[in-house]
């Protein structure tokens, strides 16, 4: 029986017993930074990364993966100074943790650009490769310009068919993105693709190992490495790295999906105490990024629209989002979600793919809340649908809401796209990535959105002045 079909039975009876058995199959430990002793013989190298993730005022997180047991240390120093010497703690990677680790660097200076070096057993693991990150300012000042690149849907063919796959050559797009040297790379989901066979083939106890194998195979793919080492990275998920196609909150292995997501990302925070999920808020200059989880608490899109409480985000996550938006003083508030947020159904008879339009009461209440509370600077960004377009939604008493849907990076383009009232001239029917540049003087900030072909040539560009994203 497919796992999704048996999910209600497992969930209602013994979810934690099942999860412990599955976790045991994946490894003795699922922690992000395994600190247990793994022996004295270390001869590994870096198989993926390093990738700079979350940065605060005095802290930064660096993710990496090794090809065997290893002792990792990271030296770091302000970029404007000569290379300094630090006394970093040693982190050990092991098979129990998938040879992945997130190394936390503490005691940093606010608003400072740093360089760093990864040492394995005392040797420089990547000599000559420039690595860096930026901490966030501690006090208000004129914001620096920020370049953010984004995209979704990065399918990687299996080794057996990679040579003949169109996606095998499509990964050159990542070098094109890296060449632009974005400050931030925001991954909008479907960057790992589980297969049906991962869930339905063989023993259930082997499923977690197959899920982990999908993550590891993607992360260690050579064409990704230059981009992973460029800028700082944040990720969310959509259905394909959460579970089966169109998976929702009934998916029996969602605790394992959450574990694996944390193993392979360095977002800094995930969910809330007592509220599972991958959602969090991060800041970069005058941009707040609200990274949403559209799967852990999601009801089936096909349930009746008038079902009480039908939700895509879940009540707790939605309350958290409102609270964080109300407290934010950022010029731009970027809400990132795997599924589209502002799109509409083609007609009453057709669902029109996944999205918040299939949870209309929840969406309507949220937009009404945005308007009533005069939340300025909100912009939505999403992926999923295998083509790109802009959506603009007018509001009677406030500024129009806009959404950039950016897809696909390397997956195939949708053969029958059907956008509903897209902004004229913004539909892109080829592999692409998008950039969002936040720039200008403090009193004249603007957002410049652009869409780029896989070869780096520009398809279109639109500008949104910060002053036009304010309540009337």
For the chain, what's the residue count? 472
From CA 411, how far away is CA 157, in angstroms rounded? 10
Q: Are residues 354 and 300 in the same domain?
A: yes
CATH of the domain at 193: 3.60.21.70
Nearest to 460 by CA among 414, 428, 413: 428
Residue 280 pairs with which residues in a beta bridge?
291
Q: Are residues 316 and 340 in the same domain?
A: yes
Output the tens digit of pLDDT for each of the chain's 472 residues: 334 333 322 233 334 344 444 444 444 333 333 333 333 444 699 999 999 999 999 999 999 999 999 999 999 999 998 876 676 789 999 999 999 999 999 999 999 999 999 999 889 999 999 999 999 999 888 999 999 999 999 998 776 555 445 555 578 999 999 999 999 999 999 999 999 889 986 778 889 999 999 999 999 999 999 999 999 999 999 999 999 999 999 999 999 999 999 999 999 999 999 999 999 999 999 999 999 999 999 999 999 999 999 999 999 999 999 999 999 999 999 999 999 999 998 877 777 889 999 999 999 999 999 999 999 999 999 999 999 999 999 999 899 999 999 999 999 999 999 899 999 999 999 999 999 999 999 999 999 999 999 999 999 999 999 999 999 8
Cβ neighbours for 396, distance < 8 A, ≥ 6 positions apart: none
Residue 24 lies in a domain: no
Q: Are residues 169 and 125 in the same domain?
A: no
CATH of the domain at 86: 2.60.40.10
Tell me which of 101, 134, 167 is where a domain ends. 134
Nearest to 271 by CA among 253, 251, 295: 295
Q: Are residues 165 and 250 in the same domain?
A: yes
Cβ neighbours for 14, distance < 8 A, ≥ 6 positions apart: none
Let me know: does 380 contact 403? Beta carbons within 8 Å. yes
Tell me which of 134, 168, 190 is where a domain ends. 134
Let me know: does 464 contact 449? Beta carbons within 8 Å. yes
Task: Supply the range of the domain harboring residue 100.
Answer: 46-134
């Amino acid at each position: 029986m497919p796992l999704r079909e048996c999910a209600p039975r497992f969930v209602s009876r013994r979810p934690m017993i099942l999860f412990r058995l599955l976790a045991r199959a994946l490894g003795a430990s699922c922690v992000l930074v395994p600190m247990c002793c793994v022996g004295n013989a270390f001869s590994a190298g870096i198989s993926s990364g390093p990738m700079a993730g979350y940065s605060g005022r005095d802290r930064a997180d660096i993710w990496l993966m090794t090809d065997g047991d290893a002792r990792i240390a990271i030296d770091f120093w302000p970029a404007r100074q000569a290379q300094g010497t630090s006394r970093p703690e040693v982190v050990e990677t092991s098979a129990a943790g998938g040879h992945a680790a997130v190394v936390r660097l503490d005691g940093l200076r606010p608003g400072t650009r740093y360089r760093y070096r990864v040492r394995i057993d005392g040797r420089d693991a990547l000599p000559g490769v420039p690595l860096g990150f930026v901490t966030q300012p501690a006090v208000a000042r004129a914001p620096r310009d920020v370049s953010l690149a984004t995209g979704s849907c990065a399918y990687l063919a299996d080794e057996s068919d990679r040579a003949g796959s169109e996606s095998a050559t499509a990964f050159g797009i990542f070098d094109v993105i890296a060449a632009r040297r974005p400050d931030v790379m925001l991954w909008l989901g479907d960057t790992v693709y589980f297969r049906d066979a991962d869930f339905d083939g063989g023993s259930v106890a082997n499923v977690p190992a197959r899920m982990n194998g999908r993550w590891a195979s993607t992360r260690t793919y050579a064409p990704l490495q230059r981009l992973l080492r460029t800028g700082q990275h944040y990720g969310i998920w959509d259905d394909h790295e959460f579970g089966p196609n169109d998976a929702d909150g009934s998916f029996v292995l969602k605790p394992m999906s959450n574990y694996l997501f944390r193993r392979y990302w360095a977002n800094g925070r995930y969910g809330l105490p007592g509220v599972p999920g991958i959602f969090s808020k991060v800041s970069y200059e005058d941009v707040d990024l609200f990274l949403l989880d559209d799967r852990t608490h999601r009801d089936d899109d096909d349930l009746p629209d008038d079902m009480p409480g039908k939700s895509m985000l879940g009540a707790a996550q939605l309350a958290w989002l409102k609270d964080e938006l109300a407290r934010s003083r950022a010029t731009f508030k970027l809400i990132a979600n795997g599924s589209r947020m502002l799109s509409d159904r083609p007609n009453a008879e057709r669902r029109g793919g996944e999205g918040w339009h299939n949870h209309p009461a929840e969406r309507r209440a949220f937009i009404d809340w945005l308007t009533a509370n005069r939340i300025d600077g909100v912009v939505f960004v999403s992926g999923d649908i295998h083509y790109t377009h802009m959506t603009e939604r007018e509001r009677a008493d406030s500024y129009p809401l806009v959404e950039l849907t950016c897809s696909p990076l390397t997956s195939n383009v949708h053969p029958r796209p059907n956008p509903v009232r897209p902004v004229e001239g913004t539909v892109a029917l080829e592999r692409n990535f998008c950039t969002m540049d936040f720039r200008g003087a403090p009193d004249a900030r603007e957002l410049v959105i652009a869409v780029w072909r896989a070869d780096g040539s520009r398809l279109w560009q639109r500008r949104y002045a910060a002053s036009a994203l304010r309540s009337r």
